[in-house]
Amino acid sequence: MTGTYHIWTIGCQMNEADSRHLASQLEALGFSETNRAEDADLAVLNTCVVRQQPEDKAVRKLTSLGGIKGSRRPGMIIALMGCMVGKREAEDLAEQFPFIDVFTAPSQTDALIEYLLQHDAYSHLNKVQVELADYRLPAVNRDKAITAFVPVTLGCSHVCSYCIIPYRRGPDRSRKPEEVLDEVRSLAAQGIKEVNLLGQIVDRYGFDLEEGINLAWLLKEVAKVDGILRVRFLTSHPAYMDEELIRTVAETEKVCPYFEIPFQAGSDRILESMRRGYTQADYRDIVSNIRRWIPDASINTDVIVGYPGESEEDFLETMNLTEELRLDMHHIAKYSPRPRTLSAKMKDDVSTEEKERRRTVLDERVTKINAEKSQKILGETVEVLVEEFQEKKNRWRGRTPHNKLVFFEDDANRLGQLVSVKIEWAGPFSLIGVPLA
Ligand code: SF4
C-alpha cells in the first residue's frame, strides 16, 4: 500500500464527482481510503466558494488540520482542491496557511498527482501506475451507490455578475463523448443504475465538439448503455434550453422528465444587472414549451433574493413569477458578494434582515406550493428507483422519475430496483407509501 488518503468534500455535485475521480486516481496509485482526514497520510479538502458559508467551513477544517499537522502529524500532506483554488487566491492562501502542501484546481488533479510523484515518500510510484491515475479514468463506485454524477461540461464562460465559478473553474469545455460513455459503461458495470450528467451549463454540451454532438444526442447515447435505468442532467441555462432537448426528454424513455433551470430573479431589471441573458418572458416561454411536450414535467429552480438594488417591487416580481409558474422545487439563496465578481463592486444595499425576510416569505410560499402539488400525488402509484436502506428508520429511500423523494418499508431487499409504490402520505418535500406486489 502506498499510504492512506481522505477526501473531505463540500459544495455542488461537480465537487462530488471530482472527489470520486480523484479517489479512483489515488487508488490506482495504491492509496487506500481512511474515514478521518486527521488519520490520513494525504488529506484533500475539496472546497466551495459559491457562498461565504461553505468557504468558512473549509477554512475551519483547514485550520484544524493544520493544527494536527503542526502538533503530531508533521508528515501529513494537506492538499487544497476545488473552487477555493484560483491562481491569485493560491498565493494568498499559501501565505495564510503555510502548511498547505499543494493546490489543485477544480476538475484538474494533475498538480496533486505531480506533487506526489516528486515527494520522497512516493518516489516508488511507477510510470504504469501514474498513467493509470488519470482524471479521465472512469470513476470507481467505491461506496456501492445506485446513482452517480458524471461531469460532461467543465467550467463556465457565462460570467453572471454574482458568480465566482468562471474565475475558479475556467472557461467551459465539453468532455469527449467517448470518455463520457466509457465512464457511464464502467459505472453501469459497477452497479450504477442512474446517471446525472453534470455541467455548470449542461445544455451547452457539445458547443466545442463536432456538429451533431450535443446534449440531446448524448442523452440518447447514455440511455442505450446496458444496466442504466434512468438518466438526468443538470444544471441547464434558460438560454440554451432548445426544442430538440425538450423533445429528447419527452421521447426517450429512460431520460427522466426532470429539469433544473435557475431563473434567479423575476425582475427584468435585476436579470439584466445579473447578466443572465434572458427575460422573465423568455423563462416563462421555456416553461410553457416544456409543459407543452411534457405536461407533468418536474422543474426545479434557483432563486437569489437581496441582490444589489433589488427593490420591494423587484422582489414582488419574483414572488409573482413563482406563484404563476408553480415549479416543483426552489433553492433560495440570500445574495452575498463574492470576490472579483462584477456585483461585488456594487453596493450590497439590501440589509441582512431584509434579505432574511425575503427568503422567509418566498420560502413559505414555495413550501405551500410544494405541499399543494404533493397532495395531487396522494393515492397515486409511482415508480421508485431505490437508492438506500435507512437502518435507523427501517425503511427504503428512493426517487420517482420526477425526482420526488419516497420512503417505504419492505422486508425484501429492494436496493437498486424499480419498485411501484402507492403513495399514502404526501408532504411538501417527501412522500411515504407502500410497495405493490
Ligand atoms: S451560468 Fe452563471 S451562475 Fe451558472 S456557473 Fe456560469 S456564471 Fe455561474
Fold of 381-435: OB fold (Dihydrolipoamide Acetyltransferase, E2P) (2.40.50)
CA distance 302 to 260: 8
Element holding 23 (H helix, E strand):
helix 13-28
Q: Could you tell me how many residues make up the chain? A: 437
Q: How confident is the model at residue 118 (pLDDT cuts 50, 70, 90)?
A: confident
Q: Mean per-residue pLDDT for 330-347?
A: 94
Please give the Cα distance from 325 to 343 (Å, whole number). 27
pLDDT above 70 as % of the chain: 95
Residue 62 pLDDT: 93
Give the model confidence (pLDDT) of 165-185 as tens digits.
998 888 999 999 999 999 999
Find, among 337, 331, 333, the residue nearest to 358 by Cα: 333
CATH fold of the domain at 3-132: Rossmann fold (3.40.50)
Q: CATH 3.40.50.12160 region(s) of the chain?
A: 3-132
Query: Over 60: is that where the pLDDT of 128 sits?
Result: no
Q: What is the pLDDT of residues 191-216, one digit of tens each?
A: 999 999 999 999 999 999 999 999 99
Give the pLDDT score at 109. 86
Pocket of ligand 1 (CB under 6 A): 156, 158-160, 163, 165-166, 200-201, 237
> How many angstroms separate the CA atoms of 179 and 185, rounded?
10
Which of the listed residues 15, 156, 235 should we mutate to test ligand 1's pocket, taking the one with most ligand atoms within 8 A of CB? 156
Is residue 127 pLDDT above 60, yes or no?
A: no
The answer to whether 168 and 86 have CB atoms below 8 angstroms apart is yes
Say if residues 31 and 42 touch (Cβ distance below 8 Å).
yes
Is the separation of the CB atoms in 254 and 230 below 8 Å? yes
Nearest residue (CA) to ligand 1, atom 8: 163
Whose C-alpha lies nearest to ligand 1, atom 4?
200
Q: Tell me the best of 51, 154, 160 to mutate to test the pocket of ligand 1, counting ligand atoms within 8 Å of each CB and taking the most.
A: 160
Q: For the purposes of burial, counting CB atoms within 10 Å of the CB of 120, is it exposed (0-12), middle (13-18) or buried (19 or more)?
A: exposed
361 alpha carbon, distance to own chain's centre: 26
Half-sphere exposure of 55 toward its Cβ, with a 13 Å CA cutoff? Answer: 14
Q: What was the pLDDT predicted at 91?
A: 79
Q: Which amino acid is at 240?
A: Y
pLDDT digits (tens, 9 = 90+) for 227-274: 999 999 999 999 999 999 999 999 999 999 999 999 999 999 999 999
Query: How close is the Cα of 30 to the center of ligand 1, in Å?
Result: 37
Nearest atom in ligand 1 to the alpha carbon of residue 264 is 3
Q: What is the pLDDT of residue 134?
A: 63
> Does pLDDT of 141 surpass 80?
no
Q: What is the DSSP letter of 264?
A: B
| Band (294; pLDDT cuts 50, 70, 90) | very high
CB atoms within 10 A of CB 72: 9
In this predicted model, what pLDDT tens digit does every residue of 366-394 receive, in sequence order? 999 999 999 999 999 999 999 999 999 99
58 alpha carbon to ligand 1 midpoint, in Å? 22
Distance of CA 256 to the CA centre of its chain: 17
Task: Provide CATH 2.40.50.140 ranges for the chain.
Answer: 381-435
Q: What is the pLDDT of residues 391-404, one digit of tens each?
A: 999 999 999 999 99
What is the pLDDT at residue 179?
Answer: 94
Which pTM value belongs to this model? 0.88
Mean pLDDT (the chain) is 93
In DSSP notation, 221-262 reads HHHTSTT--EEEEE---GGG--HHHHHHHHH-TTB-SEEE--
- At 105 the pLDDT is 86
C-alpha cell at 380: 397515486
pLDDT, one tens digit per residue, over 63-78 is 999 999 999 999 999 9
Least confident of 29-38, 114-123, 347-356, 400-409: 114-123
Above 80 in pLDDT, residue 1?
A: no
Closest atom of ligand 1 to CA, residue 172:
6
Pick 437 or 311 by higher pLDDT: 311
Instruction: Please check whether residue 152 is in contact with residue 174, taking contact to mean a CB–CB distance below 8 angstroms.
Output: yes
Q: Residue 251: its pLDDT value, please?
A: 98
Mean pLDDT of 405-434: 97
Least confident of 124-138, 236-250, 282-296, 352-366: 124-138
